[in-house]
Amino acid sequence: RSMELAAPGLGASGNGVRTAAARSSVPGPGASLHPYDIGVLVVYFIFVVGVGVWSSFRASRGTIGGYFLAGRSMTWWPIGASLMSSNVGSGLFIGLAGTGAAGGLAVGGFEWNVRKLARGFSGIQGDMNTNFSPLSQATWLLLALGWVFVPVYIAAGVVTMPQYLQKRFGGQRIQVYMSVLSLILYIFTKISSSFMPSFIFLSLILHSAPCISCLALLVVTAVYTIAGGLTAVIYTDALQTVIMVGGALVLMFLGFKEVGWYPGLEQRYQQAIPNVTVPNTTCHLPRPDAFHMLRDPVSGDIPWPGLIFGLTVLATWCWCTDQVIVQRSLSAKSLSHAKGGSVLGGYLKILPMFFIVMPGMISRALYPDEVGCVDPDICQRVCGARVGCSNIAYPKLVIALMPIGLRGLMIAVIMAALMSSLTSIFNSSSTLFAIDVWQRFRKKATEQELMVVGRVFVVFLVIISILWIPIIQSSNSGQLFDYIQSITSYLAPPVTALFLLAIFCKRITEPGAFWGLMFGLVVGFLRMILEFSYSAPACGEVDQRPAVLKDFHYLYFALILCGLTAIVMVTVSLCTTPIPEEELARLTWWTRNHPRYELEKEAHEDTPGTSEMEMPPGVHAAGGGGTQNPSQGPEQHGAPHRSCGKLLWGWFCGLSGVREPALSPTEKAALELKLTSIEEEPLWRRVCDVNAVLLLAINVFLWGYFA
């Protein structure tokens, strides 16, 4: 069979004849982008760099609170936009659209998270063993973040999630375990899951320059992340959100127009059968329940109990305990702004159902021979993967439908998704490393030292990201990343159980929490080893996996693992001495409004405690910001002999060389009380509550309509 390909999967149909759309839209081998598309990309980069530089000047980059928490000065709208773009990586556009093409609307109940990417690429078999954060759970748990979790985190006065666990349980082993675990997951799963789909998309669109494009994106993201900290990250995320939503909506309308809007999609998707099929199988047929979100609890690819309950476990970990997400809410200037950001993020998380999942289904309806191929040999020639080509659904639609100029916009959309993911990972990872890891080795590390360490760690992450690029090129259709990201699936449920019990159950003790985590880790790894040992069958192959894999859906496993971990934690805790009530002040939901005890003691701690970490812009705690270049005395800090290069380097690294005024213990205690306050103005509390109820009503309506 003749397969005439302009680019893998984008230039030929399954019967060897180019479609009209492909003939008119797909560039030939080695073809370059139209100047209009290049112009759009240039304008995009100018805006991103401009916003990054502007926000860097706005940021207080010389304090831990200013660099890692944006000076606790963020308002609701950039927080909400950043919550959206931080979670929406480029994998969402590739994986979510591909899984929608393979299985229909049920995946619209999900949002792309950080688990098995390659399962989203597994093709038309409909294996939905992909880690998404559910749409409904995304909305509900974003509100839970703002109304339940963030008030406890703010009252506790923490910067990182491991730091909260250390305050809640005492000791160091849980904090160290969570810090190391988070960093490993960020480096080896989130970076890979961000790069792989972007690399696929850019390879199909740009042909010869995906590596150069990724390197350019890394340089740009590293510069403004290092220079501006969380302030620059959040404001650029807000810009990226506008670009992503705008570009995706344009493609959505073009796609719906092509198929005859929603009624046409329903008809044409059910008829989207490839010309070449595998005999004696039904894997080429669209699912009869493709337009229903709630599916059979036993035979469904996404069983509805798992969708509602099992995914809630994974989504709680993602939205309410993950440093990348929570750090944005902790940067809010007040609890009301944190709630407002959660509401805006919830509204934005409704959109991917319409501008990513449905376009993926449109792509299969329009191009069933490529996107819906099931013959392994044809799929290998179309997209380089024998298990299916649903991963090209979104790129195929971009190239076939987007006119000149707008195609450049969609490339900018994918770049925006990649950049927002990377900046979030870089900033949150540097926060974890500086606050929770470095201080374990350097008990008396100064604030300025922590600032430098955080920035250097970003450089380390950039190097790691560069090293991922050749690995991605040589990986076998994402199989490596399927395995790597499986780790997250089986580590998240124990963490969810830990945080839920830490916040809502005062009786949980440090031994109970630790041994519960260890139990969950062992059980999760056993399931993961089994999954590594047995691959999912391709179309027409006999499923030889053990029953615990093929009949026990991973969503059910996540729910049971969370429950078993909680039982172990409670059992061990009941056998140990309870934590005194006064030591739980402002560390649980029930004690979040209690007065702080011994503020004087905390003000005199020899490590940069909360009072030091959460200084407002330009303010240092005593001993934190007083470190400066030894060659510069206080009387020399403004000396004119400093070269422009040194001044620029000092600005880039947040090293002003100016000694900030020290605060007395009483002043620090008063400032800490202000920064850990969860009081709200009655008016804005009611505004947030009303919008939360409205958001939930919209969410319930959508579920009822598509269920």
Q: Which of residues 557 and 217 earns the better pLDDT score?
A: 557
**Confidence band (pLDDT; 50, 70, 90) for 54?**
confident
Per-residue pLDDT, 260: 87
Q: How far apart are CA 476 and CA 224, in angstroms?
A: 33
Question: Is 14 inside any structural domain?
Answer: no
Contacts of 543 (CB under 8 A, 6+ apart): 536, 537, 550
Question: Is 103 inside any structural domain?
Answer: yes
**Encoding tokens for residue 348?**
């934005």
Question: Is 257 inside any structural domain?
Answer: yes
Tell the burial category of 651 from Cβ atoms under 10 Å away from its Cβ (0-12, 13-18, 19+): middle
CA torsion sign for 305, 311, 316, 321 is positive
Per-residue pLDDT, 616: 39
**Encoding tokens for residue 333?**
């200037």
For residue 295, the SS3 value is strand
Amino acid, single-letter form, for residue 606: D
Question: Is 173 inside any structural domain?
Answer: yes
Q: How far apart are CA 361 and CA 93, in angstroms?
A: 12
Please count the other Cβ atoms lying within 10 Å of the Cβ belonging to residue 223.
18
Q: Which of residues 670 and 427 earns the better pLDDT score?
A: 427
Q: What mean pLDDT do residues 569-577 have?
A: 95
CA of 647: how far to CAs of 228, 283, 643, 657, in Å?
16, 64, 6, 10
Strand stretches in 219-369, DSSP E: none
Question: Is 631 inside any structural domain?
Answer: no
Q: What mean pLDDT do residues 462-480 have?
A: 65
**Confidence band (pLDDT; 50, 70, 90) for 637?**
very low
Per-residue pLDDT, 636: 42
Q: In terms of pTM, does the model score above 0.75?
A: yes
Q: Which of residues 44 and 23 earns the better pLDDT score?
A: 44
Question: Is 673 inside any structural domain?
Answer: no
- CA 589 vs. chain centroid, Å, equals 26
User: Which value, to the nearest 10 degrees, does the dihedral of the CA atoms of residues 59, 62, 67, 69 take?
Assistant: -90
Question: Is 37 inside any structural domain?
Answer: yes
Contacts of 81 (CB under 8 A, 6+ apart): 237, 238, 241, 242, 344, 345, 348
Q: Which of residues 607 and 347 earns the better pLDDT score?
A: 347
- Quote the number of domains for the chain: 1
Total residues belonging to the chain: 707
Question: Is 11 inside any structural domain?
Answer: no
b/e sequence 501-526, b meaning 16+ C-beta within 10 Å: bbbebbebbbbbbbbbbebbbebbee
Q: What mean pLDDT do residues 207-212 have?
A: 62
Per-residue pLDDT, 7: 39
Q: How far apart are CA 43 and CA 31, in angstroms?
A: 22
User: Which value, to the nearest 10 degrees, does the dihedral of the CA atoms of residues 345, 346, 348, 349 take?
Assistant: 110
CB 402 within 8 A of CB 257: no
Residue in the structure block whose two tokens are 């159980």: 497
**Confidence band (pLDDT; 50, 70, 90) for 694?**
very high
- CA 70 vs. chain centroid, Å, equals 19
The yes-or-no verdict on residue 679 having pLDDT over 90 is no
Q: Which of residues 12 and 89 earns the better pLDDT score?
A: 89
Q: Which of 107-116, 322-331, 396-405, 646-655 has the lowest mean pLDDT?
A: 107-116
Please count the other Cβ atoms lying within 10 Å of the Cβ belonging to residue 639.
10
Q: How far apart are CA 511 and CA 169, in angstroms?
A: 9
Domain of residue 392: give its range.
Answer: 20-582+687-706
Q: How far apart are CA 313 and CA 307, in angstroms?
A: 10
Residue 560's H or E segment, with its range, is: helix 554-574
CB 119 within 8 A of CB 110: no
For residue 638, the SS3 value is coil
Per-residue pLDDT, 128: 35
CATH number of the domain to which 466 belongs: 1.20.1730.10
